Amino acid sequence: MVVATKFLPRTQDEIEKGVSGQQHIGNMIDTSLKNLGMDYVDLYIYHMWDWQTPIEDIMEGLNRIVKAGKARYIGISNCFAWQLAKANALA
């Protein structure tokens, strides 16, 4: 069995409150883990491109999640090939 979950981009309210992309990712994984009753997931998916957050911020947030042991692998969905290539180059 593989357990996967995903997260959406920051809301406008979060942006206005100064929540960074990394903070958002951390908040979202913690919420998912609590809802699932788990310590980690196998796959954490960046569900759609966040046009208001630098990809470097997103990738560092995902890296922190993996290093913290909250996700084994990361993924991305609903993006263009050039966006995936850009994210992969940073990884």
Read off the pLDDT of residues 27-72 as tens digits, 9 standing for 90 and up: 999 999 999 999 999 999 999 888 889 989 999 999 999 999 999 9
Spatial distance between the Cα atoms of 2 and 12, rounded to a whole number of angstroms: 32
Beta bridge partners of 4: 43
With cut-offs at 50, 70 and 90, classify the pLDDT of residue 80.
Answer: confident
Helices (DSSP H) in the chain: which residue ranges?
12-16, 21-36, 55-67, 81-90
Spatial distance between the Cα atoms of 42 and 69, rounded to a whole number of angstroms: 10
Residue 6 has pLDDT above 90, yes or no: yes
> Residue 73's CB: how many other CB atoms inside 10 A?
13
Its pTM stands at: 0.87
